[in-house]
Amino acid sequence: MTYQFPENFWWGSAASGPQTEGVFAGDNKEQSIWDFWYDAAPQKFFNQVGPDKTSQFYQKYKEDIALMKATGHNSFRTSIQWSRLMANPLTGEVNQTAVAFYNQVIDELIAHHIEPFINLYHFDMPLVLQAKGGWENRDVVELYVQFAKTCFELFGDRVKKWFTHNEPIVPVEGGYLYGWHYPDKVNLKAGIQVLYHEVLASAKAIAVYHSMGLAGEIGIILNLTPTYPRDAQNEADVKAAAFVDGFFNRSFLEPSVKGYFPADMVAWAKGNDLMPQTTTEDLAVISENTVDLLGVNYYQPRRAKAKESVLESRPEGLLPEDFYDVYDMPDKKMNPYRGWEIYEKGIYDTLINLKENYGNIRCFISENGMGVEGEERFVNAQGMIEDDYRIEFVTDHLKWVHQAIQEGSNVQGYHMWTCMDNWSWLNAYKNRYGFIAVDLDNDAKRTIKKSGYWFKTVSDNNGF
């Protein structure tokens, strides 16, 4: 059977500024929370490898963009680092060296017929703003909007696809619940304030973008994790799964697409003294400024069951897990090279959910991919990584994307995470995801993997 995709389907991959550029490339980059946290607590990072050891996109972007072409990209997403573009994130003073860098990247992509998709926030709060509370502080919302407006003014003549955030639930989880991100707190109420401010910042940036009359569109990138109950006939399990879906998915999906927060989550927050501080004016901004399109990151589903374990009493207060238990389904298929479930149909369920319950919003798969530990063991005699497992992973997911399209889903592209192996937060280089291998011990030398050549044939044929 052949799987043909709609005309002009976006084929490519996603990355982010902080994970690829290199921090100490110099040129007046301000510190972000990652630079600071690595200095303060290097032991938290896998093998103590920090954000200074990236794949050197800052220096090698020309070579990288040529490699994107060689691997079939017609589009590519990265992010502009707030802490690089702004010489002073408090005053809005711009770093001209950074402007020149991002201009060159955008122009190089366009010269290669690769459409730039630009995201404005990928977990990288400037340190001076974190010192003021980061997303906990309402003033930071205005400073973000100033940063976003500067980006639209500088690059909006050529960039036609903008995104306000990548996975905005992750700074909540990472920074306020589970200790993966600075400020490394456990405080659900503060996390919900962060959530609210991120949603507000997104809506305000969308308002500014639309007011500028630029010929492009703007959306948000959400990691939507379809959540399945242990037993679909068991009311308590179904309720637990709905809570998980509400907290981790709908808290962002509903305001982004429909303009309001989910009623069940608002009731839950009110009932547990977790309501953020809001204003009527801000809620009106959220209601009036929804997204033009949606990026969907999909890796694995969540599985939930009714709370069975005893509620922990902890000094820090409640966590989302106090309202459900994780269901560890016994026969699930696992990625043999990292501990995540593989459930290909989840991508289809997510797209059909968007079709049926979110007005069939125009969307694309903005991340999907297979992280592999110790991938060098698959290098062949010619020095190429034979990642047949990744080809199989992407093929199986694309089949379900194709099925969703047959059923009317408005999905318009597929981006894999990621183009070349990159540094990833606390995991550093533990999990390799790229179409292209990076040899960190050899001046970050790039070598296309088997999946990169395969992806080119998929893109060239607009299917497989």
Q: Which residues are catalytic?
A: 367
In sequence order, the β-bridge partners of residue 223 are 297
The CB-of-141 to ligand BG6 minimum distance in angstroms stands at: 22
Residues 130-159 that bind ligand BG6 (CB under 6 A): none
What sign results for the dihedral spanned by CA atoms 332, 337, 339, 341? negative
Rule CB under 6 A: say whether 176 interacts with ligand BG6. no
Number of residues that bind ligand BG6 (CB under 6 A): 13
Sequence-distant (≥ 6) Cβ neighbours of residue 205 within 8 angstroms:
120, 144, 145, 148, 149, 164, 218
SS3 content of the chain, % helix, strand, coil (to 5): 45, 15, 40
The CB-of-318 to ligand BG6 minimum distance in angstroms stands at: 25
- Is 370:310 a contact under the CB 8 Å cutoff? no
Contact letters (x/-) for ligand BG6, 388-427, by CB under 6 A?
A: -----------------------------x------xx-x
The one-letter code for the residue type at 194 is V
- Is 265:246 a contact under the CB 8 Å cutoff? yes
The CB-of-16 to ligand BG6 minimum distance in angstroms stands at: 6
Separation of alpha carbons 164 and 119, rounded Å = 6
Separation of alpha carbons 328 and 17, rounded Å = 35
Of 6, 1, 12, 129, the C-alpha closest to 459 is: 12
Rule CB under 6 A: say whether 223 interacts with ligand BG6. yes
- State which residue, 260 or 340, has the beta carbon closest to ligand BG6: 340
The CB-of-139 to ligand BG6 minimum distance in angstroms stands at: 26
- State which residue, 19 or 289, has the beta carbon closest to ligand BG6: 19
Residues 292-311 that bind ligand BG6 (CB under 6 A): 297
Separation of alpha carbons 146 and 141, rounded Å = 9
Q: Which of 16, 56, 193, 409 binds ligand BG6 (CB under 6 A)?
A: 16
- State which residue, 34 or 144, has the beta carbon closest to ligand BG6: 34
Q: Which of 174, 371, 413, 434 binds ligand BG6 (CB under 6 A)?
A: 371
**Residues of the shown chain interacting with ligand BG6 in the complex, contacts defined by CB under 6 A:** 16, 19, 166-167, 223, 297, 367, 371, 417, 424-425, 427, 431
